[in-house]
């Protein structure tokens, strides 16, 4: 019975239990209005726009279609990055209608999200495609007439920082965005030399000895102020109790009583420490079994 059970657990683990997720074509999305579409399988489109012309475009000047692939494997060519799109730069003419097929090749959630679009056409100024797990979703947008550089990125925590970003230029664009893998220089370059770069966003330590002295000073002053606070608090709490204890005593009796209390406290502490030491050192050694 035991053998049968472990065999079935083994079979489960290596069959359905850890099988890769299958690729889903997200074609039947629920339309929530305003170009917002979703389904229960983790796919989403925001800001879908197939025919509303942006102000300043008298007509759709071109219709283009691209396929964007998102996945861990596209980061391989960028040292230090973990996620990436298959392309890091896109260029289109103003007033272009763009159909974007977004394919997620990872078994996690990825997005192709664009910001800075006109808000009268795109809620929150965003066009957004999202797929959880391997799958494909398709959305459409129409670009405004202005020369502008748009950021496209995956907004899942750390995915952009780890490389999943690109720039999309309309017309001549409006400059380059920083830290686009393989396109523009990183704002903070990875450095494995062990030296402290000048671009560090926090102050450098002055010198090892000076900083050690400074931190020792800091530690001392904080310890002093901490002790003072604890002392004051204990004093305030103990004041009514002590007033009661010392009531009616002469100066000599008070001093004697204080010493008695102190010696009791010290005796208690010594007893506790010695019993603890005994507890930890009194262990019998365990003999190794004979071979």
Q: Quick one: 54 or 163, whose CB is closer to Cu ion?
A: 163
128 vs 110, 120, 137, 181, 250, CA distance in Å? 11, 16, 11, 21, 83
In whole angstroms, how close is the CB of 182 to Cu ion at the nearest point?
18
Residues composing the chain: 291
Residue 60 makes contact with Cu ion by CB under 5 A: no
148 is an interface residue for Cu ion by CB under 5 A: no
Q: Report yes or no: 71 and 152 within 8 Å, Cβ to Cβ.
A: no
Residues in 97-116 at the binding interface with Cu ion, rule: CB under 5 A: 110
Question: Near Cu ion by CB under 5 A, which window of 71-79, 96-104, 159-167, 258-266?
Answer: 159-167
Of 161 and 191, which has the nearer Cβ to Cu ion? 161
Verify binding: residue 81, Cu ion, rule CB under 5 A: no
Q: Does 128 bind Cu ion (CB under 5 A)?
A: no
In the bound state with Cu ion, the residue whose beta carbon lies nearer, of 137 and 154, is 154
Measure the N-to-C terminal CA separation of the chain; round to a whole number of Å.
Answer: 33
The first and second tokens of residue 157, run together, are 């925590």
**In angstroms, rounded to a whole number, what is the distance separating the alpha carbons of residues 248 and 70?**
83
| 89 vs 69: CA distance, rounded Å | 13
Closest CB to Cu ion among residues 110, 148: 110
Does 69 bind Cu ion (CB under 5 A)? Our answer is: no
Using the rule CB under 5 A, is 159 a contact of Cu ion? Answer: yes
Strands, DSSP E only, in 1-143?
24-25, 30-31, 37-38, 43-46, 62-71, 84-85, 89-92, 96-104, 109-114, 127-132, 135-142
Nearer to Cu ion, 74 or 122 (CB): 74
Question: Closest approach of Cβ 19 to Cu ion, in Å?
Answer: 22
At closest approach, how far in Å is the CB of 128 from Cu ion? Answer: 12
- The binder of Cu ion chosen from 142, 154, 166, 177 (CB under 5 A): 154
Q: Which residues pair with 247 in a beta bridge?
A: none
Residue 156 binds Cu ion (CB under 5 A): yes
- Sites of contact with Cu ion (CB under 5 A): 110, 154, 156, 159
């Amino acid at each position: 019975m035991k053998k049968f059970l472990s065999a079935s657990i083994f079979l489960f683990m290596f069959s359905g239990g850890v099988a890769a997720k299958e690729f889903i074509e997200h074609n039947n999305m629920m339309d929530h209005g305003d170009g917002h579409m979703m389904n229960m399988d983790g796919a989403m489109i925001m800001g879908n726009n197939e025919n509303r012309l942006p102000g300043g475009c008298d007509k759709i000047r071109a219709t283009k279609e691209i396929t964007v692939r998102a996945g861990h494997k596209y980061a391989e060519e960028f040292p230090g990055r973990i996620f990436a799109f298959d392309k890091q730069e896109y260029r289109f003419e103003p007033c272009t209608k763009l159909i974007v097929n977004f394919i997620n090749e990872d078994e996690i959630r990825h997005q192709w999200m664009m910001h800075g679009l006109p808000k009268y056409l795109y809620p929150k100024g965003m066009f957004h495609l999202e797929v959880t797990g391997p799958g494909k979703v398709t959305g459409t947008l129409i670009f405004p007439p202005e020369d502008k550089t748009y950021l496209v990125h995956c907004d899942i925590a750390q995915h952009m920082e780890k490389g999943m970003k690109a720039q999309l230029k309309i017309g001549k664009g409006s400059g380059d965005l920083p830290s686009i893998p393989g396109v523009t220089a990183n704002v903070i370059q990875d450095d494995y030399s062990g030296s402290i770069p000048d671009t560090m966003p926090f102050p450098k330590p002055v010198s090892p000895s000076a900083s050690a002295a400074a931190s020792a000073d800091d530690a001392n002053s904080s310890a002093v102020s901490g002790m003072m606070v604890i002392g004051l608090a204990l004093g305030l709490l103990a004041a009514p109790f002590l007033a009661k204890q010392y009531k009616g005593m002469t100066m000599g009796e008070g001093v004697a009583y204080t010493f008695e209390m102190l010696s009791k406290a010290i005796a208690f502490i010594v007893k506790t420490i010695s019993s603890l030491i005994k507890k930890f050192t009194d262990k019998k050694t365990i003999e190794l079994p004979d071979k």
